[in-house]
Amino acid sequence: MEKNQDIRDAIKEARLKQWQVADIYGLSEGNFSRMLRKELSLTKKEKVFAAIEKARKGIN
């Protein structure tokens, strides 16, 4: 199983692209992708899930 699979699945489920979530999170797509290579802390995961929700709702 890939690292941060829950985040990757949530992005797919929301029909988003990583760049959309990365933009709201405040990183470039490349840096966001690299960040997901290692398992994130609970605090960072919460921030990513909040960014996914904002992107899903179209809120910047």
pLDDT tens by residue, 11-58: 999 999 999 999 999 999 999 999 999 999 999 999 999 999 999 998
pLDDT tens by residue, 1-11: 799 999 999 99
pTM listed for this prediction: 0.91
Taking the CA atoms of 42, 44, 45 and 49 in sequence, report the sign of the dihedral they define: positive
Q: What is the three-class DSSP state of 55?
A: helix
